Amino acid sequence: MGIFSGKKGLVLGVANDYSIAWAIAQKLIEQGAEVGFTHLPGDKMERRVRKLTDPIGAKLLVPCDVQKDEDVAAAFDRAGEAFGSLDFVLHSIAFAPINDIKCPYAECSREGFKTAMDISVYSLVIVARNAARYMPNGGSILTLTYFGGERVVQGYNMMGVCKAALDASVKYLAYDLGPKKIRVNAVSAGPIKTLAASAVGDADALGGLYEAVSPLQRNIEREEVGSSGMFMLSDLASGITGEVLHVDCGYNVMGSPGRAVEAIKAGKL
């Protein structure tokens, strides 16, 4: 018997087997959860996600464009039909036009900013609102953020501003949904190679930086984020809401380059 036996939930944002959302979903399933999934509209995106969900016997795979309120509502209605009620929802969605990510934040376009904020931030709001309709006994909502919303990370640009807004949304949603016994949290993972990460910054360089600076002297593993996300969605975290859990080998606590200074002096960096 796993800690998610009898629990049911919906995962939004799996793109492929490198997705952090998929790493978390695998841990949920290992612990006995029944999991439904969404995919971006279109046959190509459905096939990509179905390659992962069919082998595990997922009960639900439904299209969802988070820029359309009716799509989000329909996805949760389908989840309600499949599961009756929901215990957890994982939100792993972010996007910005490539030109607006690649350029300095000061040069991003108004339309690009609107699009990025709509998909990367407001989507959590509309998802949480619809999730609450199917959480009559409370539940847990988790999103994925990044340290670039707290501090400047070269190359993260406009997405860092989006993550800052997402972090604030987690806190306000936690307050709004608290009376319904619904928890809202975020996991802030260190750099992992994903489809989304390929568009921002240099994941390899960041990974090396985390190895040099973090207290544990290494970067994180995908499975570690999966386990941490599973924990935050579980009843083991029943007293935690409005929090951003950093899963980054301690990188976020550092106020200096730490041991990286020694590596630089030794010519290793």
Active site residues: 146, 156
Bridge partners of residue 266, in order along the sequence: none
CA distances for 196 relative to 5, 156, 171, 252, angstroms: 31, 11, 24, 21
169 closest CA partner among 118, 117, 124: 124
| CA pseudo-torsion sign 216, 218, 223, 228 | positive
**Beta-carbon count within 10 A of 267 CB:** 6
Q: How far, in Å, CA of 163 to CA of 167, rounded?
A: 6
| CA pseudo-torsion sign 49, 196, 94, 234 | positive
**Virtual torsion, Cα 100, 45, 25, 29, nearest 10 deg:** 180
